[in-house]
Structure 1
Amino acid sequence: MRAVVGLWRWRHNPLRRATDLTEAWVALAALLLMCLAAPAVGWICGALTNTSLQESARHEQRQRHPVTAHVLGRDEGSRPAAHDPEAATGNQIRRAVLARWTAPDGTAHTGALTAARHNADPGDTFRIFTDGRGRPVDPPMTAETAREQAVIAGIGTMLLAAGAVEGVRRIVVWRLVRQRYARLDRAWAQAGPDWGRTGAGS
């Protein structure tokens, strides 16, 4: 970050302009915000996100139940179920099967599922998650996964906050530079007609 470069303008010298001092204050404010405020905002966001995700994880764990599915045979005409996150790894390790399972309410269900290749033969069993009615669902979020996502959210928020501060600093500096050029143009316009004339301005 180049914001700290403006701090040298605090030194007492006759060439220091008002905009130099303003830029120095802006640089210091940006530095403090990026070092203190941005991490604080990221931590708060991460903590709030973690609280929310942990509650969601507990809710999913209450609503989604592990059950054992029994393979009845191959199901060549079905594609891997959309809710199965492991199916995305490819058909070479996942296989569509016709399976039977018992829902938490005791009702029996039969349908197409995806199973690991080594669990895809008739008579094999594998674990799935279902809702209260026995419909297959994604596995519930774990507390560790929720925590990892909260950390990512906090870091992302911190970086966004720091980037926003730096963006504002650059805009302020850009406006200060334009003011300097405008003043220089006005001063040049006043001195220009007499520039180089002997005794001009004396």
Structure 2
Amino acid sequence: MRALVGLWRWRHNPLRRKTDLVEAWVACVAVLLIAVAAPLAGFAIGGLTQDALRQSVREQHEMRHEVAGTVIKKLASPPVDPDPETSSARDRHSRVLAGWTAPDGTRHSGAVLADLRSPDRGDRFRLWTDEHGQVVGRPLDDATATTHATLAGFGVALAAAGLVEGARRLVVWRIVLRRYDRWDQAWDKAGPDWGRTGTGS
């Protein structure tokens, strides 16, 4: 608020250049856009993302079904993955040959990852399939959808603020270049004898 009051009083300062006033107004507009428009853009995009993800959650829960898988035998683990993130997730699961009954009543079997550390024949575990019994990933839940929507909104707000700040810096850079050009022109008009004794006599 003090900056706006200072800008208002500065309008009539005799030392003020036109470029100074333009630079000050550009800064005020940038602050207003960063404080108001960027959060509104983030809120709007976050809301749209939330709606789309909730629709996806509903569709996935309709199309994916949780069934009970039964371990037939444990299979050899795949080669070690050097990526620590994927290998840590894989360490909590075991690769097994399992059998399961699909929602349509057909029997299926195949190699799957089971959330069992040391599986034995006959152990049961949760498995997600489509309506025909093909193994699919676990459906998205509401908490994950909300987290993704929040991150999307926050990212858009930050990107909008960065874009506004980048535009402000570009405008100020152009203003400073123009100011330097005017200084050069004024210096050329003063001539090489500016400041010497007896100049102009």
Q: Please give the TM-score of this superposition, normalised by the length of structure 1.
A: 0.87
Cα offset for 1:5? 7.7
Q: How many residues matched?
A: 193
Determine the structure 2 residue equivalent to 1:25. 25
CA deviation profile, 1:1-37 (whole Å, cap 9, x unmatched): xxx9898565242211000000011000000000000
Determine the structure 1 residue equivalent to 2:115. 116
Q: Tell me the amino acid that sits aligned with residue 145 of structure 2.
A: A
Aligned alpha-carbon RMSD (Å) = 2.4
Contact 1:6 1:23 in 2 (8 A): no
Determine the structure 1 residue equivalent to 2:180. 181
Determine the structure 2 residue equivalent to 1:56. 56
Cα offset for 1:119? 5.7
Contact 2:95 2:112 in 1 (8 A): yes
Most deviating of 136-145 and 90-99 = 90-99
Determine the structure 1 residue equivalent to 2:40. 40
CA 1:139/1:92 → structure 2, altered by over 3 Å: closer, same or farther? closer
For 2:89 and 2:42, the matched residues in 1 are separated by 37
Q: Does 1:133 align with 2:132?
A: yes
CA 1:52/1:92 → structure 2, altered by over 3 Å: closer, same or farther? closer
Q: Please give the TM-score of this superposition, normalised by the length of structure 2.
A: 0.88
Runs ≥4 residues deviating over 4 A: 4-10
Most deviating of 22-31 and 6-15 = 6-15
Determine the structure 2 residue equivalent to 1:149. 148
Cα offset for 1:184? 0.1
Secondary structure of 2:162's partner? helix
Q: Tell me the amino acid that sits aligned with residue 71 of structure 1.
A: V
Q: Tell me the amino acid that sits aligned with residue 88 of structure 2.
A: T
Cα offset for 1:89? 2.4
Unaligned runs of 5+ in 2: 80-84
Identity of aligned residues (%): 50
Contact 1:9 1:20 in 2 (8 A): no
Q: Does 1:159 align with 2:158?
A: yes
For 1:137 and 1:174, the matched residues in 2 are separated by 54
For 1:177 and 1:116, the matched residues in 2 are separated by 63
Most deviating of 124-133 and 91-100 = 91-100
Unaligned runs of 5+ in 1: 81-85
For 1:181 and 1:112, the matched residues in 2 are separated by 72
CA 1:169/1:49 → structure 2, altered by over 3 Å: closer, same or farther? same
Contact 1:6 1:27 in 2 (8 A): no
